[in-house]
Amino acid sequence: MVVVIQNDPLVPPGLISAYLDALGLEWRCCRADRNENIPEADAVIILGGTMGVDDEREFPYLRQVKTHIDRWLEQELPMLGICLGGQLLAQAGGGEVRSASHGEHGVVLVEQTESGRADPLFCGLPERMPVFQWHNDSFLVPPKGKHLSTSPSCPAQAFRLGNAWGLQFHPEVDYAIVKRWGDLLPGAEPYIQQFLSCSDEITDLTQQLLGNFLAMVSAR
């Protein structure tokens, strides 16, 4: 079973849920933000959130998520962390997460590194591809991680740590999610239009990336 961990009511699975449903896979969205117990899984996808990795006082459920991430890393369970999820993975792997650093919004071109071009997560994806960004904080690649992709304004866009992958960008977003986020940020209309201009391409890239991740899960 694939478990998708939702950390914030504003950050649902979006395209991930549609893709998993289309494949007919057994999966569950676990609402960590509602203190739901996190079940055993064959693979985990950790979504983003408006909070920071160290905001445990305001969001105490982050402690449970962090505890599970530590255990899953030891077990070498396949994980895919998105934005906050990627930052939590980076922190668990000994990497630094910087607040209000290298923030990005809207559609940004990310480029694969040499390691990224060789990594199965990006198999079949272009070396430079448009992705949707919505973050203020950013991670540094963990000491034992492999740096997979970069952008001019945020050097660390993706990394691999064993069987775990951390992404700074948001492959899961659909128009409803982007519109909701944009409505909460003054002056965000250009970001919404950027997404609309390449939403079909982003959807195709998301399906390829998720397909690659799930293929590695099946190979285990």
User: Which is the catalytic residue, given 104, 105, 135, 172?
Assistant: 172
Whether the CB-CB separation of 49 and 11 falls below 8 Å is answered with yes
pLDDT tens, 10-57?
A: 999 999 999 999 999 999 999 999 999 999 999 999 999 999 999 999
Rounded CA-CA distance 9/28 in Å is: 16
User: Which is the catalytic residue, given 30, 68, 83, 154?
Assistant: 83
Given this structure, which CATH class describes domain 2-219?
A: alpha beta
The pLDDT score that the predictor gives to residue 220 is 75
pLDDT tens, 160-193?
A: 999 999 999 999 999 999 999 999 999 999 999 9
Point out which residues pair with 149 in neighbouring strands.
Answer: 112, 158
pLDDT tens, 105-138?
A: 999 999 999 999 999 999 999 999 999 999 999 9
Residues whose CB is less than 8 angstroms from the CB of residue 74 and which lie 6 or more positions away in sequence, other chains included: none
In sign, the C-alpha dihedral spanning 123, 4, 173, 106 is negative
Mean pLDDT of 132-151: 98
pLDDT tens, 53-88?
A: 999 999 999 999 999 999 999 999 999 999 999 999
- DSSP assignment, residue 168? S
Sorting pLDDT into bands at 50, 70 and 90, what band is 90?
very high
The structural domains of the chain, with segments of one domain joined by +, span 2-219
Rounded CA-CA distance 137/54 in Å is: 11
User: Which is the catalytic residue, given 68, 105, 147, 170?
Assistant: 170
Residue 30, token pair as written in the block:
């676990």
The pLDDT score that the predictor gives to residue 219 is 83
Whether the CB-CB separation of 49 and 7 falls below 8 Å is answered with yes
Angle between helices 189-197 and 175-183 in degrees, nearest 10: 170
Active site (annotated) includes residue 172: yes
pTM here is 0.97
